[in-house]
Structure 1
Amino acid sequence: RGWLVQDEDDPTRFVDYKLKTSTSYWDHLDPDRMRAPLYQNALQVFISILYLGFYTGAINTINPTGDLDIIEGLLYIFTLGFLCDEIAKFWKVGKYYFGFWNSFNNTLYALLTVSFVTRMIALGHHVGDSNRNKFNELSYNFLAFSAPMFWCRLLLYFDTFRFFGTMLVVLKVMMKESLIFFALLFFVSIGFLQAFVGLDQEDQKLDATNFIIQSMINAVMGSPEFSGFDNFAPPFGLILYYIFTFIVIVLLLNILVALYNSAYEDITEHSIDEYMALFAQKTCQFVRAPDENVFIAPFNLIELVFLVLPFEWWMDKDSYERLNDYVMAVIYSPLLLVTAALETRVAYRVRFNRSRGETDEDTIEEWEQMDGECDFEGDGWVKKCEETKPNVESDGTLVQIKELRKEIEELKEMLRSLKG
């Protein structure tokens, strides 16, 4: 709901939103309200659906001449914004930012980048040129190839819903469990591949490698082809293929199913806990540094081109912050008009509840029901969070110097004790 905001004095702490009870519409029409995770998530979902719409329009309206239309242009602009956002986050966070969904998204963006580059190469040739048609067709092939990833990408933004969130946790655990299966499959496949290649070299010719690899892949996918091995080094080739098929389909695939079943049962038994952990992680991703402006991709391109490059390096901090507020107010004005009305409506309900001596919110969330059951201080979570929380107020170099000074003081104390 955005009722908790970062404390201006201590950005690592969150305090109640002071204007929560304000019934003035204009008090809530503030671009800084975009810091609320709820609004950022809603905007990301809308942008993702719009992004998918641009892709659908681009793939269903193929231009025979290879020229870029408005829909394709917007698609590639959005992709550039997402790429810049990924690069910026990886630059700030480092290797710990890299995960499954980052790899998934980066693969999608890489395919779209290849599609765009091949389209530019096609535009470099004259209309009617065979090379123009070839690269144009290749560009559309890469674009069409990425369709499943576009739709799966929506799951990343639907994880705030319990069903999708729980299923994503199950999927993540299953992917980890799959590593055991693929490790076993790798060694088994290498052994049988070497055996088949050895049988193929019996006549001093290595001419069945493609057939062997394709047949082994078909066996892994559950569609083995035995007919081709009747005349392949009989009877050894057919016997080996029977053994390989038995090991893969009967043993390894059943092991994989058992691993998936175990992972699914473990997650569904603690579905609420898993969902709440994912929800908390999702919320923390929207928390930003106090001096960081909220420009959600692809609006980050506006910040980069029209604010950072021309103004940030010479404008004073207050003026630059005010300029960013003006730009965000214009960009997010449609959403802010809606959120301000919703917050004003909620403010009336909060005042009504307080007048009756009740809590501000009528709905009791699940994590609020467990408030009395969790002893964060006794379990050591408070101390652990204090030790691991980043210092966002001081420069990173200054923090390291302070830690080094502290260690030097401890070393001096140890030397004094040894001398004494």
Structure 2
Amino acid sequence: MLAILGFAMIATFMVLIMTRTISAIAALILVPIVFGLLAGHGADMTGMALEGIIALAPTAAALVFAVLYFCIMMDAGLFDPLVRSAVKFAHGDPLRVSLATATVATLVSLDGDGATTAIITIGAFLPIYRRLGMNLLMLAVLLGSANSTINLTPWGGPTARVASALNVDIMDVFLPLLPTMIAAIIGVFVLAFVFGLWERKRLGIAQLETDLSQSLFDREPGVERPRLFWVNLALTLALLGCVVGQVLPLPIAFMIGLTLACIINYPKLSDQRERVAAHASNVVPIVLLIFSAGVFTGILDGTGMIAAMGETLLALVPAEYGPHFGPIIALASAPFTFVLSNEAYYFGIVPVLAETAGHFGVEPVEVARASLLGVNVHALSPLVAPIYLVATLLKVEVGDLQRFGLPFAILFYLLMVAVSLATGAVPFVVH
């Protein structure tokens, strides 16, 4: 009975958010309460929900301070010289333009906001692509591939969601995936090189008459701090070193980093308040989503539904496939994440897979890593907003973008699966 209620709960949740009947936040809170009541629970669900919220508090804190930190660095102009240099380097050579596109998309993606990455990268390179006659769909593929890969950082959406859904340490998910991310980014630049050669052969090299590198960032006037570039760069490198080296817990590292960034760049309290308030819209939805997920996962686990669903699926999985459940989840991640929204996939499907995988000795954190490997395919899903933003900015059809980009997205997906298996981030077999 618990398994039936659990599957019905997951199905109801997915239908509600995919049909946009209610928001993901509302569904994460209300759906488990309703099904918890149907399972015979009452006031005891408050304790389950609180346990789920408390468990996810460090993740929420880390994301708040990490997102704000990179937003402050965008304001201060940390990435301006790097982006302008990349655009100037591009000039009129399609090969250079393609490589510069990959560089800018990779750098700007560090702030964790796909919309910002799209606006800045397309704003910088669209005039150049049009002037040279280059294929705009190549710009979209390089942008999406770089952004999807960099979005696997701890402050990116997918990693935060899966860590919240499975209640695992976000750094335990991220660090073993670093080789996979590096391989994928190398793949982005290889693809950029190939695209550039194709377009250079087709179009040749032109001389651009206009410098298109001066107005790339849409920000409030007067917030740039160009004189502090080296200080901000040193602070950012030190912060990332602490994060990757696990010198400090992720939330504490970014708390300290944000505090120093504000004091160094905006000593006046009024300026600090303005900068934080300016980016509140980037932070508040993340926090609401994570704490709402705490209610969902807390009740799902506390009522015993997740265990019952896992046992049901366990009975359906042939025993000989059990030790290979990690690769199975990795291979299933692309089709799942293409046809489902992030919330439906990470909060609805992945916990059930993790419960089932646990019976075969696959750890939840390994399931989390495996479930993330389809991010490049997800970027082309008709269920995600960024694809419509990119199509609108480039003035291309979404269908054309999907047809052109999907083969490359699948290649990146297979590359990431292969590297994850080779490095042990996802175990090929559990003994």
Per the normalisation by structure 1, the TM-score is: 0.21
Q: Which has the higher contact order (CA 8 A, sep 6+)?
A: 2
Of Structure 1 and Structure 2, which has the larger fraction of its residues in helix? Answer: 2
Per the normalisation by structure 2, the TM-score is: 0.20
